[in-house]
Every structure is written in C-alpha cells, then in structure tokens.
Amino acid sequence: MSKKNLRVSDLGEKKLIERIIETSKDFEFNNDKNLNSYIGDDAALIDFNNNLTNEKNYLVATTDLLIQKHHFPLQMSFFQMGWKAVTVNVSDIAAMGAKPVGILISLAIPPNLALESFDEIICGILKACNYYKIPLIGGDTNEDDEIIISGTALGKIEQSLAKKKFGFKFGDKIAITGQLGLAALGFELLKEENKKIIEKSIENKKISREIVNLSIGAALNPKARLNEGIILSKIASSATDITDGLASELYELFNANKNFNKNSNLGIRIYEDKIANEPLFKEIYNLSKILNKDIFDLIFHIGEDFELLFTFSNDNENSIIDELSKKLNFIIIGEINNYNRVEIEYSDGKVQKLSSKGYEHLSND
Amino acid sequence: MSKKNLRVSDLGEKKLIERIIETSKDFEFNNDKNLNSYIGDDAALIDFNNNLTNEKNYLVATTDLLIQKHHFPLQMSFFQMGWKAVTVNVSDIAAMGAKPVGILISLAIPPNLALESFDEIICGILKACNYYKIPLIGGDTNEDDEIIISGTALGKIEQSLAKKKFGFKFGDKIAITGQLGLAALGFELLKEENKKIIEKSIENKKISREIVNLSIGAALNPKARLNEGIILSKIASSATDITDGLASELYELFNANKNFNKNSNLGIRIYEDKIANEPLFKEIYNLSKILNKDIFDLIFHIGEDFELLFTFSNDNENSIIDELSKKLNFIIIGEINNYNRVEIEYSDGKVQKLSSKGYEHLSND
C-alpha cells in the first residue's frame, strides 16, 4: 500500500504515538531537553523547582479520554462512568508513585441527557475524588451526541522517588499488587448471553456469588492503587499500571529500558505458576472455564485491572520482601534476566517468548 | 416542569457548572479550602510550594475539549484543528498572566482517517506548541467517529501576579488587547451563501481583500495573547480571555467580584464610542453591513476572538497608560463604577444595562 492511501488503523495506537514523538523532534520546543520522562511513560514529569531552593519535586501530569461507546459498557451506570474517568487518570499518577494534587475534567454530554443523569456523573466524579483525596480543580463542559469524559490528573513527587517504566537492574524481582483478570471476567459476565449459565453455576455451587460480584465490581467500579504507588515509590526500581493486559505492560517496561540503554541485554522472565499463586486464582480459573475463556489469555491480553506492575532490587531479598509484605499485598511473578526478551516459563518448565498482543486502539489487528 | 423531567439543555452550561460547584461543597476534598482560585476562573491555581522555602509560585492548569462538529467549521483544515486545540488552552494560561510549562493533548480520531490527515493534525499541534513555546508533554489517543481534541495546558506564575477575574477596584479602567468581532465575521465569511456578495464587494472596492482575509484568519487560525498576558500580569488588576463574546466576559468579571464581595456595589460601564475607536472598526463595520449583521451584536455576543479583557488601576492614569502603550496594543473601553451592574453608554449618550446574552453550550435559548 502506498503511503498516500494509509489510514490510521493501518498503524494502530502505539505506532501513531511513536510517529508523534518522531515528528516532535523537528520542533524546537518539543524535543527531549524539556522532558524528564520518556514520553511513553504513564505520566509526564515536569521540573517545577526554583533553582534558588533545594526543593526537588516533579509535577506529574497525565491525561486520559473516555468515550461512551468505547469505554463504558451498556451496564455501566452514570455514576460509574464518572468514577472510572477519575480512576483511569489517578492510576497513572499511582504508577509514578506520586501524591495527587488535583484533577481537571472535561465533559461532553448530549443536550437531552436527563439532569438526574448529569448529577449522577458528577457524583461519581466527586465521590472518586474524595476516595483518592484528589480535589477537582477545573474543567469544561460541552455538547456532543455521546458522553465523553476527559481527565487530567496532576501529582507531585520527590524527583529521586519518581517511578518510571525503566530503572530496573539484572536480578530485580517483578511483582503485581493484586489479582489480574478480574475486570476482564467482569466484562464477560456482563454479556447477556452469559447470564443464564452463571446463575446456574452459582446454584450448583460450581462458583460462588462472591467471585462473580467481585469480577463485575472490578469491571464497573475499578480502583486505582494510589496508596500502593506511594508505598512503592520508596522501594520499587520501576512501575507501571496494568491497563492493557499484563503482556503489553511487560513489553512497555522492556521497551522503555531499551529506549534508554540501546545496548542493554536486560530481559524479563515471568512464571505461569507464580501468577497462579494468587489466592483467588483457583476461583477465577473455574469462572473462566464456565465462560469458556482461557484465564491466561484474559490476564495477559485484556486490561483494565489497574493493578500496579513493579520491579524491585533483589540485593537483600528477604528483608525487603518482609518489609513490603507488612505494607501491601503483592505477589512476585518473575525477575529481570539478561536474555534480551520478554519470556514466560510455563508450568511444565518450557520457556517461550511471550506474545506481545494486548488491547490496542485504532488497530486493524 | 418537574425536576424529574429536566434535561441538561434546560439549564445550559453556566448553570451546570454552578451545579457542579454546589455539589462539590458536600465532598470533603473538593471544597474551597484547597483552591486558590474561584472555580469559574480561566484556570485553576495550585499552591505548589514547599513551606520551607520562599518560592511562591502557582501551578496554573486549564482544560478545554474540542469536538469536530461543534468547534471545527467544515472549511477548517486538519492543521488548523490541531492549532486551535492548543490555542484555546494557551489562551486560558494567558488570561491568568502565566508562563507556559507544558501541554497534554488527548486525541480521538476515526480509524479510517488518512494517515496524512493525522500527520497534519499533529503538525498543527506541534507548530502551535512552538509558536507559544509550550512543550507537548503527554497525551492519549483513542478511536471515535469524529475528531475530538482535549487539551490541558499548564503554566506557572508568581502568586502575587496571578490575574483572576476579580480584583478590580472603583475607578479602574477596562481595556481589551485588540479588535473584537473579527473571528465572528470570519465564521460568517466562511458560509457558502456569503461568497458571491463578498467577491462582488471586493471588486467594487466596498471592502478590501485584506480585511476579509484577516477575518477568516481570525476564525481559522486564532492566536492566544500569551505575551500580552505576561506583560499584563505586572500591571492589570484582573483579566480574562474573550472566548464567548464581550458581554458574557464582562458579566464574568462582574459576577466573580460579587462571588468574593457579596456587598460590593462595583459595576462596569463600557462605551460604544470607545469600542468603535479601534483602528479597524470602520472596515469591519462596513464588512458586517455587507453581511447583513450588526457589528455590536457580533462583538458582544459571539466569541472566539481570544483577545484579553483586563482592568488596571487608574491611580496614576497617564503614566501607566504610557508605560502599557510601549509594550502592547490595547484600547480602553470603559471603567469600574459603583452602580452595581454591567452597563453600556451608547453613542447618543443613553446608558442601559448590557444584555448578558453570550454564546452558551447546552442551552435551549
């Protein structure tokens, strides 16, 4: 296909972002010298210090746009839409280890939206702001055929503590803050065609109502791991939030490191067994079977869990793990090696390159 | 109509924003104590200082969402859409008198958009970033049926210099940084039905091609008054940018003052004659006649000029005016009185309350 006929869907979101970064290098005020973070990271880091003082903080800024037909399932209430818009943005602040400073929300709503529904969206936004202790500091309202909520969250962090997608070293452990796959299961459970089989399975005690509710809650009422991020800022060597599936995020770390150390051979190995170690795993495995889904496919390639993926130094393994365990729930799922790829060791001992397929907007694939 | 049946269009944008502010007071982390600015101001002011230091800056943050079918006329190029999205956000930074720190842009685009058109949007964004010397620091891309561009601009200003919508005193002069009405005329000129009459009027030398091009340029390639804002930060007693028509913005100043001083009798008087003093006025008056429009209606009630409206102290009138004149173009259009309303003195000497009608989204009116 000639370049002239290319559509944006021929490239997909990640290639489009790379294209923006490449183009920006031609423009004086948009080259790297102004940036303290790699543009593919969860949030931008801005030097906000007066050179005369010793204060060394970054202003952390991140933005995410949610569009009704793409991001809000039909079963999602107006309240939950508002909640989610705050959560996705706060999650990026959490991934940097930062403390929230404020959030701006731009809304577009249909003119014929019932005022009660509008109030419900606002309530969802404000309840989430309260939950994360992040004040709503500004915004904009507009008219459109569908609901659009664009958020920009701002945070603050000591420069030395900011958690980027790179920074890990050989031997570092890789961990996650909670059970993955719950939100993906939740989205499956919301589908009309699955309702009957689920009710029957609960009746027959094949699964518990609790795990069904937990999964639906993860899909409709996601929580950002803000406190976990702040704790990890003092311990982790890198971090990101898991929005597009674990595989995609592992490649984000791998590629971020490569971007800064072209000759680095650092690779990532994760273990199927360790992922299956989560206390809830057996239950969600059963649930996925009933829904005719591969639980690992959901964990690796479907996102929206908003758990944090992080690495930490293994120098003094046990004491760090003990210390961390007192402060937050996490499981170690792998480590940094020097095999220059992202790989998975299956339960049977076989090791393979992990497929990078994750959810990507604007892609034909 | 009962509350139950109310639609958002029954309230309109301003009442909806008031509703958000009212609701936010019920939520601990969203009440005024965290805010250094009135939430109806052009941008939020965030205290970003370490208490141990003497640095007293505000982080300034503002967001604006543009939707293709509402904000981008058919004749607007993809480049101009990108340019406009940066400009509307930078204009709010300018209105606070702040220096730009960075901008985040969230984009939604149709998957079948030609890659060349995507590149053109990005080029418009980056060219505008260069023009305003504001680095593009982050963003998000999504898929939608139409183009949506949401921007969040961040700035920085010494706390004592931040220009709010209130702060003016009795006797202060009211001024604007340039000719109003140009953009509104430009949008009229873009209409197919006006093409013939305009070409004929240029031929007959009733109007110049220059004023036609200037008007269309103001509509399609708006410029934010960033440098003017920075100059005014040291001189003005209040400022805002003129996005929704002069009348609407004058009421914004009037109401912002009331919000902080309930018992204040401060009012605003502007003079039709003085507005007609602008060097370009005669030409745009002629142009509006040809288009069968009332030029004052365009100036007062149609927006998108992105000029700044500001007040300054009259204590030492001539020396301040002389000083300002050396640094920027402006005309004085009125003054602050104590008649507790926004009024206009017409050319014939009659004084009337100014109609507050301005462009408002989401309104039935």
pLDDT of amino acid A43: 81
B175-206 pLDDT tens trace: 999 999 999 999 999 999 999 999 999 999 99
Q: Tell me the residues of chain A between 66 and 95 that have a Cβ less than 8 Å away from chain B.
A: 67, 69-70
Task: Return d(Cα A97, Cα A156) in angstroms, integer.
Answer: 9
Question: Do B232 and B107 belong together in one domain?
Answer: no
The predicted structure's pLDDT at residue A1: 46
Whichever domain contains A105, its CATH number is 3.30.1330.10
User: CA nearest B93: which of B121, B58, B68, B122?
Assistant: B58
Domains in chain A, number = 2
Contact A111 B44 (CB under 8 A): no
Cβ-based neighbours of A331, under 8 Å, separated by 6 or more = A175, A176, A274, A275, A277, A278
Q: How far apart are CA A256 and CA A250, in angstroms?
A: 10
CA-to-CA distance for B97 and B159, rounded, in angstroms?
11
Residue B52 has pLDDT above 60, yes or no: no
**Residue B61 within any structural domain of the chain:** yes
In this structure, what CATH number is given to the domain that contains residue A339? 3.90.650.10
Looking at the structure, do residues A304 and A334 belong to the same domain, yes or no? yes
The distance of A57 to chain B (nearest Cα, Å) reads 9
Domain contains A77: yes
Whether residue B63 and residue A29 make contact (CB cut-off 8 A), yes or no, is: no
Structural domain span for residue A47: 35-159
Confidence check: pLDDT of B89 > 90: yes
- Which of B39, B101, B133 has the CB atom closest to A46's CB atom? B101
DSSP percent split of chain B into helix, strand, coil, nearest 5: 40, 20, 35
Residues B143 and B198 in one domain: no
Same domain, A150 and A193: no
Query: Does A28 fall in a domain?
Result: no
Closest residue in B to A5 (Cα–Cα): B114
Q: Has residue A146 been placed in a domain?
A: yes
Interface test with B, best of A152, A156, A158, A244 (most B CBs within 10 A): A152
Task: Note whether residue B3 is domain-resident.
Answer: no
* CA dist., res. B57 & res. A84, Å (int): 32
The residues, any chain, with a CB within 8 Å of residue B193's CB and separated by 6 or more, are: none
Question: Which of A117, A136, A159 is the C-terminal boundary of a domain?
Answer: A159
Question: Which residues have a Cβ under 8 Å from the Cβ of B205 and sit 6 or more positions away?
Answer: none
A339 and A305 assigned to the same domain: yes
pLDDT of residue B318: 74
Instruction: Based on the fold, state whether residues B244 and B321 are members of the same structural domain.
Output: yes
- Same-domain check for residues A200 and A279: yes
In a domain, B309, yes or no: yes
Domain boundary among A129, A159, A189: A159
Considering just the CA atoms, what is the radius of gyration of chain B in Å?
A: 21
Tokens 């404000």, located at residue? A126
- Which residues fall within 8 angstroms of residue A2, CB to CB, at 6 or more apart? none
Q: Give yes or no: residues B211 and B308 share one domain.
A: yes
- Identify whether the C-beta of residue B215 lies closer than 8 Å to the C-beta of residue B201: no
A188 and A311 belong to one structural domain: yes
**A23 inside domain:** no
Cβ–Cβ of A152/B118 closer than 8 Å?
A: no
Does the annotation flag A196 for ligand binding? Answer: no
Q: Which of A120, A137, A159 is the last residue of a domain?
A: A159
CB B118 to CB A16 under 8 A? yes
In B, minimum Cα distance to A2 occurs at B115
Please indicate, yes or no, whether residues B153 and B177 belong to a single structural domain of this protein.
no
pLDDT in tens, chain A (365 residues): 455 689 999 888 888 888 888 888 877 666 545 456 666 677 888 776 655 555 588 899 999 999 999 999 999 999 999 999 999 999 999 999 999 999 999 999 999 999 999 999 999 999 999 999 999 988 889 999 999 999 999 999 999 999 999 999 999 999 999 999 999 999 999 999 999 999 999 999 999 999 999 999 999 999 999 999 999 999 999 999 999 899 999 999 999 999 888 899 999 999 999 999 888 999 999 999 999 999 999 999 998 899 999 999 987 767 888 888 999 999 999 999 999 999 999 999 999 999 887 555 566 54
Pick from A33-37, B30-34, B46-50, B331-335: least confident: B30-34
Shared domain check, A330 and A191: yes
d(CA B107, CA B84): 13
Of A8, A107, A138, the CB nearest to B115: A8
B28 within a domain of the structure (yes/no): no
Same domain, A146 and A210: no
Residue whose token pair is 């980056």: B126
This model of the complex carries an ipTM of: 0.87
The β-bridge relationship of strands B267-271 and B331-337 is antiparallel
Structure tokens at B330: 């402006």
Interface contact B108-A65, CB threshold 8 A = yes
Which tens digit of pLDDT belongs to each residue from B137-172?
888 899 999 999 999 999 999 999 999 999 999 999
Residue in A54, A134, A142, A156 to test binding to B, most B beta-carbons within 10 Å: A142
Contact B36/A at CB under 8 A: no
Q: What are phi and psi of B284, to 5 degrees?
A: -75, -25
**Do the bridges between strand A148-158 and strand A57-67 make them parallel or antiparallel, or are there none, so unpaired?**
antiparallel
Task: Please tell me if residue B11 touches chain A, with a CB cutoff of 8 Å.
Answer: yes
Task: Give the 3-state secondary structure of residue A335.
Answer: strand
Long-range CB pairs of A24-32 (<8 Å, 24+ gap) are A24/B126, A24/B136, A26/B126, A27/B126, A27/B127, A27/B129, A27/B130, A28/B130, A29/B129, A29/B130, A29/B133, A29/B134, A29/B135, A30/B126, A30/B129, A30/B130, A30/B135, A30/B136
